[in-house]
Structure 1
Amino acid sequence: MWEKNKDGSYKGVLYALPDRGWQGTINYQPRIHKFGITFTPKPSATVAAPSGPNLVFTYMDTTLLYGPDGKTPCTGLDADPTGHISYPGFPPLPGATFLGDGWGNGNTIQRAITIDGEGLALGNDGTFWISDEYGPYVYQFKPNGKMITAIRPVDAIIPMRNGTESFSANSPYLFPGPPGFGNGVIPADNPTGRDNNKGFEGMTLSGDRKTLFVALQAADNQEGGLKATGRRYIRLLKYDITVSSSPRFAREYVVPLPFQNAAHTKVAAESEIFHIQDGSFFILARDSGAGHGQASPTSVYRHIDIFNVDLATNIKGQHDCSTCAIADANGVLNTGITPAEYCSFIDFNINAQLNRFGVHNGGVQDQFLLNEKWESIGMVPVDGKHGDDDEWFVFSLSDNDFITQDGFLNFGQSPYKDASGFNLDNQALVFRIKLPIHSAPFPV
């Protein structure tokens, strides 16, 4: 829902998906938050007379996520190094084994489906689609939070260790688990498949919500993913979800990620995608380790760019086996593959624009310094209607990694203070753009 009020402000509804634990994974039940938003544009704001915050969030509701039985909570714990959880009609699902309640209480051994949720989209039927870093998988949930569909990607993306699938991301449990679980794996980096914690970071639905696209955060390990300079070529998978209970793998493309600097020494990983129309997409690519609470306050690459797959090679079925690769270990793309066309678009880091709203990139470590992790894209029409307007508001929200000095864990039962000493607010930016589109990208 998105509406323009008579006074020129806007109101709408936003769904947000917090991801899993930090500083050691925890038995955090994945969830979806619902917020009402009010946005009041301030086009006259200047650096000399900044507007300050003009986007207000009002908490409305939360949906907790459960497995296919509708009873067992999913978990943010890292997946076991071997094995999986089975349900009738579902592919093998990544699972974690832990003691008691997972928070250091009790000794009964428990198992739960592991989800490090990243992408979120709302289906035509009110269900939620969620992409995950651990599998990496894509899941569909009913409005009440019950899992009803799981998409397992091609074998080339499934992480393998020692000749078997290994969904662990080498992220230890914050609270100890049974011996051999949640305490690291050998080898730490899986030789093939998605890199640790770089699974399906980006996901989007088409405007009619009948097609799902999902993208890796960085290259598969066998395709350059283990090297900062080589993890450039990521896979984009397309699924027909007209019948959502039976998703059909339709196409697969290669998307080239940008480099963070002129020396091409490090790739800017993907943090979100958004389908615009036809073969065109937004992509949020950024550096890491820079921003509020980080060693460096200054980000050098933080963009929403555009890529197009109209002329890209459909690689479906050609490079999808567990030992297949679209690039070599140094990230050199195979001959005969035409990747998507990539174009720079929105730069987050321009202080001449940020300062108009009281925020900044670089400089003093204060609450107005942009956070490190920007991980979402949304787009709504400036005229507030479903039509062919060429002016749009593009929204992006940050992830604060639950870095706080006055937080609580386990549904409020345990106080928490982050060891960094920082308090990081969630942040949001809104950009007004012109982008000719012959039909609206999604229902409003």
Structure 2
Amino acid sequence: MKNATISTLALAAATFTTLAAVSPAQAAVTLIAKGSLPATSADLSGFTNTLESGVSANLLGGIGSGLAWAGGSTFLAMPDRGPNANAWNPAVDDTTTFIPRFHTLDLSLSPATSGSLPFDLSITLQKTTPLFSTDALNYGPAVPTANTRQKHYFTGRSDNFAAGSNSTDALNARLDPEGIRVSKSTNLVYITDEYGPYVYTFNRTTGKRVGMFTLPAKFTAANLSSQGAAEISGNTSGRVANKGMEGLAITPDGKTLVGFEQSPLIQDGGDGGNMNRIITIDVKTGATHEYAYDNHLAATNKNYNSSELLALNNHEFLVLERDGKGLGDGSKAVIKQIWKLSLAGATDISDLSGAANLQPFAVTKTLFLDIAATLMAAGFADTQIPAKLEGMAFGDDVVIDGVTKHTLYIANDNDFLANVGGLDNPNQIFVFAFDENDLGGSPFVNQVFKPAQ
């Protein structure tokens, strides 16, 4: 299914093929554009204060923890809990009262003026939307200076929770956003949280929290700590600290959210284990189902954490798996891969626990794209590939040499670090082109956005 704007974009893309040096169409996923934003610029939040670590509260920093398409050239990009690379207080893992937010970006493709890629990607920051609650939140000792009587902002600071609360207390102020998707009507956004695990609903225009999906108790961590290591050692079940709700997809019909933790639950093997859970949430009723996902890679005999999830249609999905190597880590990228899976006919494992019990019901997956190999084939060194590729979204179709191609946008989380080991570490977005041949017969149904009247 093509969006209403496709015909216009196709006309523009037809011009691209006459003006740009476009490679011949191939039955393979290819890199067609890349762009970047400096991490050192200011965002449009309007905040003027300085955070506890000495960093400006309006630092753009990172934008790639989550990436969502909102129709046309409009995308929403989201940083995580904020800067914590500057050592200032190990008792809170160097986190600050940085207010979580998402950015509205214009990502426009145009004929390439130089280089080997067919398109240039321009990135324009249009709006920054901070996230808040009208209900009073539990902050502990650190309350955001921007708070008002009607706006209680969430923050990334790890001690912003009530004493004795568990990880699914909706009034805890700490928020580490990782996944974002736009509702069918486009007036809402769904955001996942690693501290929770939560899936929150926010008003897209204002940033006000308007709802929350409650996950099954098995995901809850009972004992909280401002230090991730202490929180891990203090729990025997639930999500792993700093490895909570990570990826999020929304089916093209807008009826189902699909997400997962970054690592298996503690009782399923915890961080480093291989049996993750995919959870589906009915947007209307909140009803959930769970499915087993094996993140083991035979080629390296290692288990890799899952970073993002994207819906191909109402039952098939793409999963982004990666190591933590590459630009931003001072090392060489090895595993950055996207796998395709289907939940059609999969067994609901909601009543099962433990890796051995989940393993027989793991969904089948096939490799869709080796990102690292594709980028290196396009001229990137393995040290230039971002360590944390985390945001993933489809966009409008394009036409290359008369052939219609679908687009896939991938963004990196740079941890608010503009420079690592003497190397620039900007916010990067890569655009790939693919078609039905690359999907092995799976139907591709892109989301059609219909703004609320």
Report what 1:411 is aligned to: none
Instruction: Measure how far apart 1:93 and its partner are.
Output: 2.1
What letter corresponds to residue 305 of structure 2 in structure 1? A
Instruction: Measure how far apart 1:208 and its partner are.
Output: 1.7
Distance in 2 (CA, whole Å) between partners of 1:29 and 1:92 is: 19
Find the residue that maps to 2:153 and give its secondary structure: coil
Report what 1:299 is aligned to: 333
User: Structure 1 residues 52 and 206, CA, compared in 2 at 3 Å: closer, same or farther?
Assistant: closer
Distance in 2 (CA, whole Å) between partners of 1:186 and 1:283 is: 27
Pairing of 1:129-208 with structure 2 (within 5 A): 129-142=190-203, 143-159=205-221, 165-168=222-225, 170-171=227-228, 185=230, 188=233, 190-208=235-253
Instruction: Measure how far apart 1:314 and its partner are.
Output: 0.9
Distance in 2 (CA, whole Å) between partners of 1:273 and 1:338 is: 19
Q: Determine which of 373, 387, 391 is the counterpart of 1:350.
A: 373
Pairing of 1:27-38 with structure 2 (within 5 A): 27-38=97-108
Distance in 2 (CA, whole Å) between partners of 1:236 and 1:344 is: 18
Instruction: Measure how far apart 1:138 and its partner are.
Output: 0.5
- Equivalent residues of 1:286, 1:301 under 8 A apart: yes
Q: Determine which of 15, 21, 28 is the counterpart of 2:76.
A: 15
Pairing of 1:283-294 with structure 2 (within 5 A): 283-288=319-324, 290-294=325-329
Distance in 2 (CA, whole Å) between partners of 1:187 and 1:401 is: 21
User: Structure 1 residues 68 and 345, CA, compared in 2 at 3 Å: closer, same or farther?
Assistant: same
- The unaligned stretches of length 5 or more in structure 2 are 17-32, 34-71, 86-93, 136-149
- Is 1:75 matched up with 2:75? no
Find the residue that maps to 1:375 and give its secondary structure: strand
**CA deviations over 1:187-238 (Å, ceiling 9, x no partner):** 6453211112111110111112121111111101121114x3xx11111111
What RMSD, in angstroms, separates the aligned Cα atoms of the two structures?
Answer: 3.0
Q: TM-score, normalised by structure 1?
A: 0.72
- Equivalent residues of 2:177, 2:192 under 8 A apart: yes
User: Structure 1 residues 214 and 186, CA, compared in 2 at 3 Å: closer, same or farther?
Assistant: closer
What letter corresponds to residue 154 of structure 1 in structure 2? P
**CA deviations over 1:123-178 (Å, ceiling 9, x no partner):** 1341111001001110001121111111231111111xxxxx1244724xxxxxxx
Distance in 2 (CA, whole Å) between partners of 1:287 and 1:224 is: 18
What letter corresponds to residue 434 of structure 1 in structure 2? D
- Is 1:257 matched up with 2:258? no
Distance in 2 (CA, whole Å) between partners of 1:313 and 1:234 is: 14
State the structure with bigger RCO (CA 8 A, min sep 6), 1 or 2: 2
What letter corresponds to residue 277 of structure 2 in structure 1? R
Report % sequence identity.
Answer: 25
**CA deviations over 1:65-114 (Å, ceiling 9, x no partner):** 0024351111111144843499xxxx72262xxxxxxxxxxxxxxxxx11
What letter corresponds to residue 74 of structure 1 in structure 2? F
Distance in 2 (CA, whole Å) between partners of 1:240 and 1:52 is: 40
Instruction: Measure how far apart 1:40 and its partner are.
Output: 3.3
- Equivalent residues of 1:136, 1:158 under 8 A apart: yes
Report what 2:110 is aligned to: 40
**CA deviations over 1:229-266 (Å, ceiling 9, x no partner):** xx111111111113xxxx4223211111132x6351x3
- Is 1:371 matched up with 2:431? no
- Equivalent residues of 1:381, 1:391 under 8 A apart: no
Distance in 2 (CA, whole Å) between partners of 1:219 and 1:186 is: 16
- Equivalent residues of 2:111, 2:119 under 8 A apart: no
Report what 1:234 is aligned to: 276
Find the residue that maps to 2:133 and give its secondary structure: coil
- The unaligned stretches of length 5 or more in structure 1 are 96-112, 160-164, 172-183, 320-324, 363-368, 406-417
Report what 2:395 is aligned to: 380
User: Structure 1 residues 350 and 85, CA, compared in 2 at 3 Å: closer, same or farther?
Assistant: closer
Distance in 2 (CA, whole Å) between partners of 1:26 and 1:19 is: 12
User: Structure 1 residues 396 and 187, CA, compared in 2 at 3 Å: closer, same or farther?
Assistant: closer
What letter corresponds to residue 40 of structure 1 in structure 2? S
What letter corresponds to residue 83 of structure 1 in structure 2? G
Distance in 1 (CA, whole Å) between partners of 2:192 and 2:232 is: 25
Distance in 2 (CA, whole Å) between partners of 1:394 and 1:275 is: 12
Distance in 1 (CA, whole Å) between partners of 2:198 and 2:328 is: 31
What letter corresponds to residue 116 of structure 1 in structure 2? D
- Is 1:391 matched up with 2:392? no
Report what 1:176 is aligned to: none
Distance in 2 (CA, whole Å) between partners of 1:238 and 1:121 is: 14
User: Structure 1 residues 94 and 71, CA, compared in 2 at 3 Å: closer, same or farther?
Assistant: closer
Distance in 2 (CA, whole Å) between partners of 1:134 and 1:186 is: 11
Find the residue that maps to 1:214 and give its secondary structure: strand
Pairing of 1:74-153 with structure 2 (within 5 A): 74-79=154-159, 80=161, 82-84=163-165, 92-93=169-170, 95=172, 113-125=173-185, 126-142=187-203, 143-153=205-215
Report what 1:25 is aligned to: 95
Report what 2:131 is aligned to: 65
Instruction: Measure how far apart 1:295 and its partner are.
Output: 3.4
Q: How many matched pairs?
A: 355
- Is 1:272 matched up with 2:308? yes
Instruction: Measure how far apart 1:7 and its partner are.
Output: 3.5
Distance in 2 (CA, whole Å) between partners of 1:76 and 1:186 is: 16
Find the residue that maps to 2:267 and give its secondary structure: helix
Distance in 2 (CA, whole Å) between partners of 1:81 and 1:166 is: 11
Instruction: Measure how far apart 1:117 and its partner are.
Output: 0.3
